[in-house]
A and B are shown apart, each in its own frame.
Chain A
Amino acid sequence: MAERENILHKVRTALGHHGSSVPEPPSPPRLIVPSWSPEERLARLTAKFLGETVRCASLDEAAAFIAARVAGRSAVAANHPLLERLGVMSLPSVRSGLTGRDESRDGCAESEIGITGVDYALADPAALVMLSSARNDRLTSLLPASHIAVVEADKVLTGLDELFTIVPDPAEISSSMVLIGGPSRTGDIEMTLTLGVHGPREVCLVIV
Chain B
Amino acid sequence: MAATFHETIHVALSDIKLQQNILTATNRFNEKRREIVAPEALPDYQELRSAAHAIKKHALDRLDSYLEMLEGKVREHGGEVVWCPDGEAAVHAVLSIARENGVRLAVKSKSMVTEEIHLNDDLEKNGIEVLETDLGEFIQQLSGERPFHIVAPAMHKTRGEIAELFAEKLGMARNDEPTELTKAARGVLRQKFLEAGLGVSGANFLIAESGAVVLVENEGNIRLTTSVPRVHVAIAGIEKVIPRAADLAVFLKLLARHGSGQPLTSYTSFLSGPRRSGEINGPEKFYLLLLDNGRSRILADAEKRQTLYCIRCGACANVCPVYRRIGGHSYPGTYSGPIGAILTPQFQGLGFESNLPFASSLCGACGEVCPVKIDIPRMLLALRRDVKEAETRQEKWRWEKRAFQAWSWLMRHPRLFEWAGFFGRAFVWPEAEGKWIRSLPGPLNAWTDTRDFPPPAEQSFRRLWRARQKQRSPGNGKSG
Contacts and interface: CB of A to CB of B under 8 A. Distances in A.
Interface of A: 3-4, 6-8, 10-15, 17, 20-27, 29-32, 48, 50, 98-101, 104-105, 109, 124-127, 132-134, 137-139, 142, 160-161, 163-165, 167-172, 174-192, 194, 196-200
A31 B133 CA distance: 35
The 7 A-B pairs at the shortest CB distance, nearest first, are namely: A199-B220, A29-B246, A14-B300, A171-B272, A188-B136, A198-B220, A10-B296
Contacts of B63: 11, 15
Given A6-B83, A178-B269, A189-B181, A168 B246 contact: yes
Contact of B249 (A20, A100, A160): A160
Contacts of A177: 269-270
A125 B264 contact: yes
B312 interface: no
Given A29-B249, A175-B77, A197-B185, A8 B64 contact: yes
Interface string B209-246: 11110000011110110011000000000100001111
B282 interface: yes
B24 A137 contact: no
B290 A26 contact: no
Given A181-B262, A191-B155, A186 B280 contact: no
B430 interface: no
B57 to A, nearest CB: 10
Contacts of B299: 11, 14-15
A10 B133 CA distance: 35
A184 B182 CA distance: 12
A172 B246 CA distance: 13
B172 interface: no
B68 interface: yes
A138 B269 CA distance: 11
A202 B336 CA distance: 35
B59, B62, B139 interface centre (most CB from chain A within 10 Å): B62
A169 B154 CA distance: 36
Contacts of A180: 266-267
Contacts of B260: 187
Interface of B: 24-25, 28, 44, 51, 54-55, 58-59, 61-69, 71, 73, 77-78, 82-85, 89, 133-136, 139, 152-155, 157-159, 162, 178-179, 181-182, 185-186, 189-190, 193-194, 207, 209-212, 218-221, 223-224, 227-228, 238, 243-250, 252-253, 260, 262-276, 278-282, 290, 292, 296-297, 299-300
A133 B223 CA distance: 16
A164 B246 contact: yes
A101 B280 CA distance: 6
A132 B391 CA distance: 57
A168 B207 CA distance: 12
Given A189-B182, A194-B182, 14 more contacts: A11-B63, A14-B297, A15-B299, A17-B64, A139-B228, A170-B272, A175-B272, A175-B279, A176-B282, A178-B268, A178-B270, A180-B267, A191-B155, A196-B186
A8, A99, A104 interface centre (most CB from chain B within 10 Å): A8
B384 to A, nearest CB: 23
Contacts of B155: 188, 191
A162 B219 CA distance: 26
A7 B236 CA distance: 14
Given A11-B67, A138-B227, A142-B227, A164 B189 contact: no
Given A171-B211, A178-B268, A188-B135, A7 B245 contact: no
Contacts of A132: 275, 279-282
Contacts of A109: 190, 194
Contacts of A172: 210
A199 B226 CA distance: 13
Given A30-B249, A137-B281, A190 B178 contact: yes
A107 to B, nearest CB: 10
Given A8-B64, A164-B249, A191 B272 contact: no
A137 B271 CA distance: 14
Contact of B182 (A6, A160, A170, A196): A196
B220 A170 contact: no
Contacts of B59: 26
Nearest to A172: B210
B69, B246, B300 interface centre (most CB from chain A within 10 Å): B246
Nearest to B274: A175
A176 B59 CA distance: 24
B65, B159, B224 interface centre (most CB from chain A within 10 Å): B65
A198 B279 contact: no
B469 to A, nearest CB: 55
A38 B245 CA distance: 25
Contact of A198 (B157, B212, B224): B224
B244 A12 contact: no
Contacts of B179: 194
A161 B293 CA distance: 35
B249 A185 contact: no
B246 A184 contact: no
A126, A134, A137, A185 interface centre (most CB from chain B within 10 Å): A185
